[in-house]
Structure 1
Amino acid sequence: MSTVVNVLGDHVVPVGSDADGGALTVVDLFCGAGGLSEGFRRAGYQVTAGSDHDPDAIATYAANFPDAVALCGDVRDAELREQLDEAAAGADVLVGGPPCQAFSQVRNHTRLIDDPRNSLYREFVSAVGAALPDAFMMENVPGMAQMGVKEQVMTDLSLDGEYTVVPQLVDAADFGVPQTRKRLLFLGVRTALSAEPPTLVGTGATGAVQLVRFADHSAAVGGTTVSADAPIPGYVPTARPDARGERVALALADPFDPSVVSVEQALGDLTALQTGRRAETLSTSELPDPTSAYQRMMRDGHRDELGNVSVPRMQADTALRLAGIPAGGNHRDLSEQLQARYLTGAKWGPSNGSGRLGRAHYYAYRRLHPEMWAWTLNTKGDSAYHWSSARCLSVREFARLQSFPDSFTFTTDARRGPLTGRIDGGAAHSRYRQAGNAVPPLLAAAAATVLRETVLAARARRDATLRS
Structure 2
Amino acid sequence: MGKPLALPLPGLDVGALAAASLVPPGGEELRVLDLFAGAGGLSQGFQQVGFRVAGGSDIDPDACATYSRNFPGAQVICGDIRLPEVHEQVVQAGRGVDVVVGGPPCQAFSQVRNHSRIIDDPRNSLYREFVKTVDEIKPPAFVMENVPGMAQMGVLEQVKEDLELGGAYRVIARVLDAADFGVPQTRKRLVFVGIRRDLGESPPMVMGSEATAYLSLVRHAKGKYAVEGRRDEGRAALLMEALADPDNLSVVSTDQALSDLRGLQAGRREDNMGIGELKEAESAYQRLMRKHLSGEIANVSVPRINADTVTRLKKIPAGGNHRDLPEALTARYISGEKWGPSTDSGKLVRAHFYAYRRLHPGMWAWTLNTKADSAYHYRAARALSVREFARLQSFPDHFVFTTDPRRGPLPGRIDGGQAHSRYRQVGNAVPPLLAEEIGKAVQATIRRARQAACQE
**Structure-1-length-normalised TM-score:** 0.90
Equivalents in 2 of 1:427, 1:370: separation in Å? 29
1:244 equivalent to 2:250? Answer: no
1:199 equivalent to 2:210? Answer: no
Residues 122-271 of structure 1 correspond to what in structure 2 (within 5 A)?
122-215=128-221, 233-240=223-230, 242-271=233-262
Residue range with higher mean Cα deviation, 325-334 or 367-376:
325-334
Residues 352-367 of structure 1 correspond to what in structure 2 (within 5 A)?
352-367=343-358
Equivalents in 2 of 1:234, 1:148: separation in Å? 39
Find the partner of 1:96 among 87, 102, 120: 102
Equivalents in 2 of 1:92, 1:279: separation in Å? 41
Residue range with higher mean Cα deviation, 286-295 or 144-153:
144-153
**Amino acid aligned to 1:335:** P
Residue range with higher mean Cα deviation, 238-247 or 450-459:
238-247
**Amino acid aligned to 1:427:** Q
Q: Secondary structure at the match of 2:319?
A: coil
**Amino acid aligned to 1:149:** V
- Contact 1:51–1:71, Cα closer than 8 Å, also in 2: yes
Indicate the residue corresponding to 1:316 in structure 2: 307
Equivalents in 2 of 1:21, 1:171: separation in Å? 30
- Contact 1:377–1:384, Cα closer than 8 Å, also in 2: yes
1:290 equivalent to 2:287? Answer: no
**Amino acid aligned to 2:382:** R
* CA offset digits 1:214-244 (Å, max 9, x no partner): 33xxxxxxxxxxxxxxxx8321111125121
Indicate the residue corresponding to 1:344 in structure 2: 335
Q: Quote the offset at 1:147 in angstroms.
A: 4.8
Q: Quote the offset at 1:108 in angstroms.
A: 4.1
Equivalents in 1 of 2:125, 2:327: separation in Å? 47
Equivalents in 2 of 1:152, 1:163: separation in Å? 14
Residues 10-29 of structure 1 correspond to what in structure 2 (within 5 A)?
22-29=28-35
Equivalents in 2 of 1:211, 1:21: separation in Å? 43
Q: Quote the offset at 1:42 in angstroms.
A: 0.5
Residue range with higher mean Cα deviation, 109-118 or 412-421:
109-118
- Contact 1:105–1:111, Cα closer than 8 Å, also in 2: no
Indicate the residue corresponding to 1:450 in structure 2: 441
- Contact 1:90–1:131, Cα closer than 8 Å, also in 2: yes
* CA offset digits 1:93-131 (Å, max 9, x no partner): 000000001123444432010011000000000000000
Equivalents in 2 of 1:108, 1:280: separation in Å? 53
* Aligned pairs, number: 432
Equivalents in 1 of 2:60, 2:175: separation in Å? 27
Unaligned stretches of 5+ in structure 2?
1-25
| Same amino acid, percent of matched pairs | 62
- Contact 1:351–1:358, Cα closer than 8 Å, also in 2: no
- Contact 2:109–2:153, Cα closer than 8 Å, also in 1: no
Q: Quote the offset at 1:331 in angstroms.
A: 1.7
Q: Secondary structure at the match of 2:53?
A: strand
Q: Quote the offset at 1:375 in angstroms.
A: 0.3
Q: Quote the offset at 1:362 in angstroms.
A: 1.7
Structure with the greater relative contact order (CA < 8 A, sep ≥ 6): 1 or 2?
2
Residues 420-431 of structure 1 correspond to what in structure 2 (within 5 A)?
420-431=411-422
Equivalents in 2 of 1:400, 1:268: separation in Å? 11
Equivalents in 2 of 1:147, 1:178: separation in Å? 28
Indicate the residue corresponding to 2:68 in structure 1: 62
**Structure-2-length-normalised TM-score:** 0.93
Equivalents in 2 of 1:464, 1:155: separation in Å? 32
Q: Secondary structure at the match of 2:171?
A: strand
Equivalents in 2 of 1:104, 1:380: separation in Å? 26
Q: Secondary structure at the match of 2:373?
A: coil
* CA offset digits 1:68-89 (Å, max 9, x no partner): 0111000001111111010111
Equivalents in 1 of 2:258, 2:114: separation in Å? 47
Q: Secondary structure at the match of 1:66?
A: coil
**Amino acid aligned to 1:88:** G
- Contact 2:270–2:301, Cα closer than 8 Å, also in 1: yes
Q: Secondary structure at the match of 2:354?
A: coil
Q: Quote the offset at 1:269 in angstroms.
A: 0.2
**Amino acid aligned to 1:434:** Q
* CA offset digits 1:43-97 (Å, max 9, x no partner): 1100010000000000000000000011100000111111101011111000000
Equivalents in 1 of 2:394, 2:294: separation in Å? 17
**Amino acid aligned to 1:285:** G
**Amino acid aligned to 2:335:** T
**Amino acid aligned to 1:60:** T
Unaligned stretches of 5+ in structure 1?
1-19, 216-231
Indicate the residue corresponding to 1:75 in structure 2: 81
User: What RMSD, in angstroms, separates the aligned Cα atoms of the two structures?
Assistant: 1.5
Indicate the residue corresponding to 2:267 in structure 1: 276
Indicate the residue corresponding to 1:38 in structure 2: 44
Indicate the residue corresponding to 1:17 in structure 2: none
- Contact 1:172–1:180, Cα closer than 8 Å, also in 2: yes
Q: Quote the offset at 1:321 in angstroms.
A: 1.0
Indicate the residue corresponding to 2:117 in structure 1: 111
Q: Quote the offset at 1:22 in angstroms.
A: 3.0
Equivalents in 1 of 2:341, 2:401: separation in Å? 29
Equivalents in 2 of 1:249, 1:104: separation in Å? 37
Q: Secondary structure at the match of 2:447?
A: helix
**Amino acid aligned to 2:430:** V
- Contact 2:319–2:359, Cα closer than 8 Å, also in 1: yes
Residue range with higher mean Cα deviation, 314-323 or 332-341:
332-341
Indicate the residue corresponding to 1:7 in structure 2: none
- Contact 1:51–1:72, Cα closer than 8 Å, also in 2: yes
